[in-house]
């Protein structure tokens, strides 16, 4: 039996990058533009895909560790500021929804589910992406990694949703793509389904022993 048990869920939480949308190319583009400004070596899109998912600050730190080894606070802040300035101008040039996402969202909205996007990405570019892709109307809220002091794998964002929407944990499902999502759900005490096509920091998602893995969210509708 599917762990999703969609019929009993009132609140469905979605990760963004690697779950709802493939944003790697835009992150790669903005990062290399930033590195070029700072006269640093460039990185590949394949490398960028392994660094996505833990928030922008850690993304920049991972890039610098790869390029220069030990990273100073000044170096980190310079890249972080430069990257955000560039990325936030246009975060959705090549970003697209993954196959099956829009059909699943259409079904969930038609069933009266409350949908929330919960991401470690800052809220400004997260909302911009959903607006540009005409997906914002599906979601009652978009909670970025900069709303609270803690972000996934900390359960704060998830527990906020449970409390704010006054539902039981049994009525909530998280859909994500990474060990951060799995760990946040475990710590929050809610069920989690992960997709196989996401980024997960370049690691096999099965290694973190998720409750269920699907190749396409449409599998949950059959």
Q: Looking at the chain, which runs of residues are DSSP E strands?
A: 11-14, 21-22, 96-97, 114-118, 141-143, 172-176, 191-195, 212-214
Has 17 been annotated as catalytic? no
The residue from 15, 22, 177, 191 that is catalytic is 15
Beta carbons of 204 and 197 less than 8 angstroms apart: no
What count of Cα atoms within 13 Å lies in the side-chain half-sphere of residue 198?
33
> Which tokens is 34 given?
């930033």
Name the pairing type of β-strands 114-118 and 141-143: parallel
Report the alpha-carbon angle 123-95-132, nearest 5. 60
Known catalytic residues are 15
């Amino acid at each position: 039996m599917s762990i999703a048990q969609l019929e009993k869920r009132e609140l469905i939480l979605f990760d963004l990058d690697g779950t709802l949308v493939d944003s790697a190319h835009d992150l790669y583009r903005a990062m290399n533009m930033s590195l070029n400004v700072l006269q640093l070596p460039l990185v590949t899109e394949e490398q960028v895909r392994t660094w996505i998912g833990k928030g922008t600050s850690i993304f920049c730190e991972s890039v610098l560790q790869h390029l220069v080894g030990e990273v100073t606070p000044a170096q980190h802040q310079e890249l972080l500021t430069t990257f955000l300035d560039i990325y936030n101008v246009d975060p959705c040039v090549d970003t697209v929804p993954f196959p099956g996402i829009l059909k699943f969202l259409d079904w969930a909205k038609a069933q009266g589910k409350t949908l929330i996007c919960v991401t470690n990405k800052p809220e400004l570019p997260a909302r911009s992406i959903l607006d540009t892709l005409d997906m914002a109307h599906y979601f009652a809220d978009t909670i970025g990694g900069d709303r609270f002091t803690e972000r996934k794998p900390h359960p704060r964002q998830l527990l906020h949703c449970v409390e704010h929407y006054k539902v039981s944990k049994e009525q909530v499902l998280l859909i994500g793509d990474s060990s951060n999502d799995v760990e946040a759900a475990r710590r929050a005490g809610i069920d989690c389904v992960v997709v196989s096509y996401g980024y997960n920091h370049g690691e096999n998602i099965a290694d973190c022993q998720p409750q269920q893995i699907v190749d396409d969210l449409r599998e949950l509708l059959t």
